[in-house]
Amino acid sequence: MSGPTRVDPAGRADPGGRVDPAGRAIPASGATRAVLAIGSSVSVVCFAAALILEFLGRPEGGGSATDLGAVLRSATALETWGWATLGTFAVIVSPVGAITATALEYARTGDRRTAWTAVGVLFVLGISLTVSLLSR
């Protein structure tokens, strides 16, 4: 179901320009959706690989999730821990990527308030990550 369409000054319908009930343009959210879809797909693949490796009896592995080298070595060695950790990274990074895409999309359409709100959310997430890493 598509929403109402925007009409240009000459009276022609702009089929790509959806508007909300107040007549304001609704920006495209294709990049946001794409980032979330890709992130979800990557996480599902990683978690599925971890489960398959677990069922096959592969070694679990282990280490610190903040040691990216250890995570990659574990995944390369086909250890369940490495693949599960990569899936967890995908789950964590996907929303950050989506919020970044949202900020860029809204900035491109001129909705600075929403774009800055998204940037503010990214800032809060960054502070949270910093506090979390420093409190270890």
Give pLDDT, residue 27: 59
41-60 pLDDT, tens per residue? 999 999 999 999 999 988 78
110 part of a folded domain: yes
State the residue range of the domain holding 115.
33-134
Q: How much is the average pLDDT of 8-14?
A: 47
In the chain, the number of structural domains is 1
18 part of a folded domain: no
Average pLDDT, the chain: 83
Q: Which of 89, 87, 122 is nearest to 104 (CA)?
A: 122
Burial of 66 (0-12, 13-18, 19+ CB in 10 A): exposed
Confidence of residue 63 (pLDDT cuts 50, 70, 90): confident
Give pLDDT, residue 118: 94
Give pLDDT, residue 135: 87
120 part of a folded domain: yes
Amino acid in position 6: R
The residues that bridge with 7 in the sheet, in sequence order, are 13
Confidence of residue 5 (pLDDT cuts 50, 70, 90): very low
26 part of a folded domain: no
22 part of a folded domain: no
What DSSP state is assigned to residue 17?
E
105 part of a folded domain: yes
117 part of a folded domain: yes
Confidence of residue 107 (pLDDT cuts 50, 70, 90): confident
Its sign, for the CA torsion 22, 30, 115, 129, is positive
123 part of a folded domain: yes
Confidence of residue 78 (pLDDT cuts 50, 70, 90): very high
Amino acid in position 130: T
Give pLDDT, residue 60: 82
Q: Which of 92, 90, 83, 87 is nearest to 62 (CA)?
A: 83
